[in-house]
Amino acid sequence: MLPVYVIHVSKGYDERARSIRTQLEANSLDFEFVLEHDCDALSPEFITAHFAEKMSAIQPATSCAAKHIEAWKKMESRTETWFLVLEDDIFLHKEFRATLNEIIYEAQAKGLDQRPLLISLENSGLRFVPSAEIKKDTFLYPALETRCTGAYLINRAAAMAYLKRVSEEKMDQTIDWWMGAMARQQCVAIFWAHPTIAEQGSHSGVFASAIDHKPKGVFRRISWNIQRIYKMYFRRR
């Protein structure tokens, strides 16, 4: 069984909850909403214990990061090797489950799972593996940063490494930048999946962003799709 944790705000995001629930049920994936640490429930004690500098304020970015930390804590008592973490605005591609299985198989066959490992599954930021690096029948490519935190596969060792670091040094920048810093320090290996198999609705314009107030709407969706097609097929950098 693959445990799935969905980062979700407990009030006011019912449309997102319905969307992700429908998708996960269609993929026969059991999941748990991570509801702890909404902005209005963030305690000063939790913030002091886990965050520093600009992340020590009560704000959506800190709440989101706190929910990811909570997801890692939930993994601590589990015996499984792999975990899937999704944010509630994610849209899974049609071949999501089949490709995810191939990704796990490749990681295990190459021994990548013998170290702390995070695999970015999404196209957030419209960032893709450069065309020149793509190899036949290869899904995983090393990177030194994430592509946001909307959809990632993580092994237990990486979750424990993140928990250890956040308890010792605290998170002082947005969670995706913080994860990238750990990759560059060779604490947790990051790989990008190609092809990508998930897309955040708050990036594509399906949902309004809860973090930086990007609007939803037809114009943003059209703009996003034009940029996605261009960067996927004509300018992969």
pLDDT exceeds cutoff 80 at 230: no
**Predicted pLDDT of residue 4:** 98
Q: Out of 25-34, 95-104, 221-230, which region has the weakest mean confidence (pLDDT)?
A: 221-230
Going by pLDDT thresholds of 50, 70 and 90, the confidence category of residue 124 is confident
pLDDT higher than threshold 80 for residue 30: yes
pLDDT score for 224: 59
Render pLDDT for 175-217 as a digit per residue (tens, 0 to 9): 999 999 999 999 999 999 999 999 988 766 666 666 666 666 6
pLDDT of residue 44: 94
Identify the pLDDT of residue 125: 83
- Topology (CATH) of 4-233: Spore Coat Polysaccharide Biosynthesis Protein SpsA; Chain A (3.90.550)
Q: Given phi > 0 = left and psi -120 to 50 = alpha, else beta, which region is 186? A: left
Percentage of the chain surpassing pLDDT 90?
80
Q: Percent of the chain at pLDDT above 70?
A: 85
How high is the pLDDT of residue 205?
60
What are the tens digits of pLDDT across the range 34-46?
A: 999 999 999 999 9
**How are beta strands 117-120 and 90-92 bridged, if at all?**
unpaired
pTM of the complete model: 0.90
Q: For the chain, what are the domain ranges? A: 4-233
Average pLDDT of every residue of the chain: 91
